[in-house]
Structure 1
Amino acid sequence: MKYKRIFLIVIDSVGVGELPDADKFNDLGANTIANLAKETGGIHLPVLESFGYGNLTEIQGVKPVQQPRANTTKMMEISNGKDTMTGHWEIMGIKTVKPFKTFTDSGFPQDLIEKIEELSSRKVIGNKSASGTEILKELGPEQEKTGALIVYTSADSVLQIAAHEEVIPLKELYDICEKVRELTLDEKWRVGRIIARPYLGSETDGYKRTTNRHDYALSPTSKTVLDILAENNYDVISVGKIKDIFNGSGITDHYGIKSNHDGMNKVMMLTEKEFTGLNFTNLVDFDALYGHRRDSQGYKEAMEEFDRDLGQLITKLRDDDLLMVTADHGNDPTHHGTDHTREYVPLFIYNHKLKGSFLDISKTFADIGQTIADNFGLSGTEIGTSLLNDLK
């Protein structure tokens, strides 16, 4: 074991430019960080600049450096997809060949809707691809008055159920989502995630989703590095939606979060905790609040907040801590539509004693998982190459 604790942070959706196969995903020209910086007149990221962020792609306001403080590169995705589960699962050693089912164009089949109505004893409204905020404007009043379930999807493999917390209690909503998860294990309806989307508010004042979201994901299709760590008695502490993404598999402890900033505070809290193993964190606001809503200014401000938090975090790290920062896909707020984008993702690997360098481009996100397994003297999964010996 070279490092006692590894802190892996996923800055959800912060891509660094189109992948070579971006045309197959209708994502030519996508570059999340570069395009949002350009659209907002530049971005101030001094910590990430010192890590070599500006060397990965041209970012207005972030200069390239000759000597990065971190070991820095970008990574390619080999899985067939550009969604949350595909990206996170690949990070931990799973190559997804068959993409999860999507129902973007036509909504969910009528026989599935009828079964949801039957198991919930509630009417379903919506059943289309929609923005989570826009569908509340459209159907929130009807849902609040009738107690129906707002069912909707997106370009992701998701079935989302929205309900007013004062109309349908959280316990009931969660119970419905659990039953729908079981229902959609059937191959013809096999979506990646069922998401409970509770909200509050009124037609007069507007509706707003609460932090009581809950995801019900498929279990990973094979063993991941998280499982390998847990089986060998290492700690695997998740922060944010990591536990949901892996359906709890390989997770030994978990902390929920209310925002990116809260998530970083949880990570900083964990630097004071004695553990041996991995802290795996997802910061979802970049994606959920700004990428999908095509809010470049909000995305910029969230990135600048993260950079400030990152600066505080690295002062709390010990000599035997390793920090890794990456992403799971892109979500260019200047791109067409509201979908994720098929992009390279950054990788920054930092330790106080490392000088820093620019690494070769990783051919798969799974290099992260293999590096973690290698650090703890464990055999990893079938894909990926450890970068541990390349760190300078």
Structure 2
Amino acid sequence: MIALAPTLFLFSAFILLLLSAFIYVIWRSDEEANELCWWAASFLTAGCSALCFAFRNQIESLSIVLGNAFLLWSYGFLWTGAAIFADRPLRPRSAPLGGFVWLSGLWTQDIHLRIAAVAAIAAIYEIRTAYELLSYSRGQNGRLVLARAAALATALQAGVDLVVSVSASFLELDATDFVDSAFLKFRSLELACYISILGVTLVALSKERLANRREIAAMSDPLTGVANRRAFDRAIERATKSASVKQKSAVLVFDLDNFKDINDRFGHAVGDQILTVFGEAATRNIRANDMLARIGGEEFAALLCPADRNVALAVAERIRLAFIDAASVLAEGQATVSIGVALVEGRAPDYRETTRAADAALYRAKASGRNRVVFAGS
């Protein structure tokens, strides 16, 4: 009769190596997703670990020494991939550390201590992996639901490993008959299910983030990093649909003064610097719920919601002064900005008409000598 545990490990090895190859192929088609490279390495080493465990009856030392080392390296690579995914600093030396700690002498200890040590090191890596995935999900305002699901699954697995580590000394195990023990059969099945499900989830998660990145890129101005005209138009559409009679909003339109002359005199590189500096200065001086967009060459617009006249004028003046200060070292301090402000109010607010009113106010600011804020209707 074929032993159950070796069969489960062989099946697990097949699934894990297949997942590793699948993830590697996806990474080769999108090498910007560097986390996939580490996750492919994680499932490759996990598959090698399962192969070692499958042949424990034939080569016991191979299973004990290399099988557990490969398993711990797998957890380390999994955590490193999650850290890269969460845009954290890369720590490649920490990834294989658990496996080398095991090889340094833990494998020579009593079977109960070996089980406790492997489970404890695995739990540390899993907790760190869950933290990285969860922190990234929070940074995206919870939009990546799969990241939270993967973090939860990894945290639950960490809980299982902690229980195993604490209770290992109480397990009735015989080193000579360990392959046929109920404990090993449970662990092989439980780990195979966890890693297989996690692999599929991580691939879907990486593809979801790639789609989000492409969507953000399509809505962003590549030079300044702020939203583009397309994103601003969409924001106007959303604001129109969700407009409230009681809530006032404001539209600000900006135009960098003498920008063509600055470009001609100082060069386009300086002009690009000025555009970037304005984007940064304006972004720092609007609120979290407000939106700033570059809608033309040297033209920008902002949607402030909610905002009354006093708030809109205060934000506009703050941006004007911040930009003058930030750009004072460029183009001999000639970079300034003119701003038109219009308020959105009424039972049927027309944001596009308000934008045109703000644009008209901007032209009055330019005609009045530039470098000033003008309110529509004033």
- Report the TM range for the smaller structure's normalisation: under 0.3
Larger radius of gyration: 2
TM-score (norm 1): 0.20
Higher helix share: 2
Structure of higher RCO (CA pairs closer than 8 Å, 6+ residues apart): 1
